[in-house]
Structure 1
């Protein structure tokens, strides 16, 4: 029988949790990250229905999605810093409480303003889950098997991303949109019970850390302005407004970074970015997610407007990418125990680049098979890269700074995705009828750049 007593705070967890407890802990992480990732995409499908029901315009209903994403971006690093201070388990447990309660709040909302506010609060709960999930995996798994934990995490993220639209469509086919949020309540309560029983405490906390409120505010302003400027550019906001946001971003960002350089333990983990292996891994992450988003946002336009595929056919043709990632991520998690992450990442990104260039060079009237094998190539390469890269980001940081590393991992993903979406808009504006072709070529170039950066890591010593 598994003991429900938490491990002693000072007990080293280099060997991870004993097996029965490990299974309960990783199940807790899987449920939490699944809910947080699903809610980033599940509302997209229902936006027209929600807008009609709440008597809102299509343009204003976009904030139902944006509010959630922006809340995550502006709070991710602050919450990961708190995880290093007070414990990853505590931040994760409170994240589950907030996410579950605000999911109920979303379902009970009767106006666009109320739902948008609820989504902001839900985003903070989701950020708490995302900010420390990989730091917790580092405590759950022995160092020699950490790659397996990262592989499971990547698998869950890929499954959730792929299943989001399908789950949303299934729910809407039998009931109303409120159940898109109510469905989170039962698994949220189950995850909370599991978290209270199985999640380990931090073995040691950096006692010299102090939460710096001005840094948290400047962090929120810096990343909030960056995301809103990118989103505004993508949505065709007036150029003067976008330039004003960028100017404010520059001023706040410079003050923010200068303040971080003076702090012994900065909220923006500049101390970790000084570690070559860590900074190179963050760079490859930003480039790879930017490349992925360039492809996944631009391809539906090509499939529907140029090839005349239906929405259902488009969804099915895009699915092989996340399915291939699901297959490769756990395999890559095992390979990291024997092969250098830099080499695995370079190989995966090179395969992804080949798939992206192959998509850009599709024949004029491609068959479904022509599209599918190229999507599989992209997804397999991305899956081969992602787990080892996440493993390296977490394990190259000192153990007491795992929260900061986990926060940077999530921030790199969101920055890459936001930049990719903005670049699609730029490609479509600059290359009118060939926007998708230009986006795919740029994506292939970014994946190639990421492969080169990843290859540079081979000169760095392997991390345990």
Structure 2
């Protein structure tokens, strides 16, 4: 059966002319395809910049005469700004429309990338990276909401599958792109390449991104401040605790998290569209989907932080081999995501996600039980199993999250998707640090075993959705 025609507020392109294709089973029209290209390019740039900066840290520290420990702020500034501002930008998207937030974020990201390329000192580079993270937060907070406006409900799984494909591909090629660029040019070009690509995405999206009817929910700047404080200090407290920093460095951000979180809940009580969407979390399907995402991305964080140490320090692989071996996981994720997205249009996402995360749990267990000197094929096959499981979960879970939220709260739901991903990855990374602190040389295998457990928790949460009715 064909989906009902989209409402005028959900039509792609300018507010008055283009209309969506009459038969959604025949695909998107040219205008919607250009809009999708703009969305995916923006998401790809934000994902790529997360991956390439890690690879470039030694070159940046050397060129700017900065100590390696201080250079970590090139990564931290981006991550903290992104996590802190995801929900405020998502709330703003519900207020003024996701198109405006996305285009503004993309323009800001492009300008900040130019500032990164021109930064003469580490301090200015870290500041520019924070600004870049602000732009990335705006892009990632509403990208799924925009995809929801492009695709009819019957084909939403295909749209989110394409999004998962782009994230997987850019995450996979990030270190390789960084290495290739650094082999022929200096590190500023890692950020300069974002400028023409960002301008191209802006050109695609200017006339084609879908408009939606703004909702008069209001936007409270003080609530946005409380939200930013709550999640940025939460990530800081997790990292400090995992690395066993002196207790004041753990207690202070943890206290700020508790106080800011309490003020946030008080401030937004009774709001029809709260910035931290506790109203959506009262929906069982939405809450279980968020828990599924947190568990899966925590597993990913545990794996991607611990595996390089395991491969290089335990198996004595060189860094180049390590990069190629680890690419097996995201490459398989990228291949599985569109297929899983299409399946989610016909089968329950709870079932697909449960199967995928059960496979991921088994793959993590197989990595934790690796023999002392595994062959390359043996190692790659286990990583491929993990990638297949993760790819099978991601698209159905994205579809479930967006489908379980009302259309007028699409931006808030989209923001929670990105927040769950980044918080889960940060928690996984903190878990690896704790495993190394407690387990010494066995920390990597311990982290992989913990990842087996978090994936199993995600599988249980996903399967529970089969027995939960949407309210």
TM-score by length of 1: 0.95
Is 2:215 the counterpart of 1:206? yes
Per-residue CA shift, 1:105-143, capped at 9, x if unaligned?
111110111111111111111111101000000001111
Is 2:70 the counterpart of 1:60? yes
Is 2:250 the counterpart of 1:242? yes
Per-residue CA shift, 1:363-391, capped at 9, x if unaligned?
12111111111100000000000000011
Say if 2:14 and 2:210, in contact at 8 Å, map to a contact too.
Answer: yes
- Once the two structures are TM-superposed, the CA of residue 174 in structure 1 deviates from its matched residue by 0.3
CA distance in 2, matches of 1:58, 1:189: 33
Is 2:268 the counterpart of 1:251? no
Residue 198 of structure 1: SS of its match in structure 2? coil
Distance 1:15 1:421, change over 3 A: farther
Say if 1:260 and 1:266, in contact at 8 Å, map to a contact too.
Answer: yes
Which runs of structure 2 are paired with 1:171-182 in the superposition (5 Å)? Answer: 171-182=181-192
- Once the two structures are TM-superposed, the CA of residue 299 in structure 1 deviates from its matched residue by 1.2
Aligned residues: 458
Residue 176 of structure 2: SS of its match in structure 1? helix
Give 1:443's aligned residue. Answer: 451
Give 1:301's aligned residue. Answer: 309
Is 2:369 the counterpart of 1:366? no
Which runs of structure 2 are paired with 1:27-426 in the superposition (5 Å)? Answer: 27-202=37-212, 204-207=213-216, 209-426=217-434
CA distance in 1, matches of 2:446, 2:170: 28
CA distance in 2, matches of 1:84, 1:122: 22
- Once the two structures are TM-superposed, the CA of residue 7 in structure 1 deviates from its matched residue by 3.0
- Once the two structures are TM-superposed, the CA of residue 237 in structure 1 deviates from its matched residue by 2.6
Moved more, 358-367 or 239-248: 239-248
Residue 207 of structure 2: SS of its match in structure 1? helix
CA distance in 2, matches of 1:93, 1:120: 18
Residue 261 of structure 1: SS of its match in structure 2? coil
Give 2:7's aligned residue. Answer: none
Say if 2:296 and 2:455, in contact at 8 Å, map to a contact too.
Answer: yes
2:460 to 429, 452, 463: 452
Structure 1: where are the runs of 5+ without partners?
Answer: none
CA distance in 2, matches of 1:23, 1:5: 10
Say if 1:13 and 1:139, in contact at 8 Å, map to a contact too.
Answer: no
Runs of 4 or more consecutive aligned structure 1 residues displaced over 6 Å after TM superposition = 11-17
Moved more, 453-462 or 60-69: 453-462
- Once the two structures are TM-superposed, the CA of residue 197 in structure 1 deviates from its matched residue by 1.6
CA distance in 2, matches of 1:276, 1:15: 33
Structure 2: where are the runs of 5+ without partners?
Answer: 1-10
- Once the two structures are TM-superposed, the CA of residue 430 in structure 1 deviates from its matched residue by 1.1
- Once the two structures are TM-superposed, the CA of residue 53 in structure 1 deviates from its matched residue by 1.3
Let me know the Cα RMSD of the aligned residues: 1.9
- Once the two structures are TM-superposed, the CA of residue 12 in structure 1 deviates from its matched residue by 9.9
TM-score by length of 2: 0.94
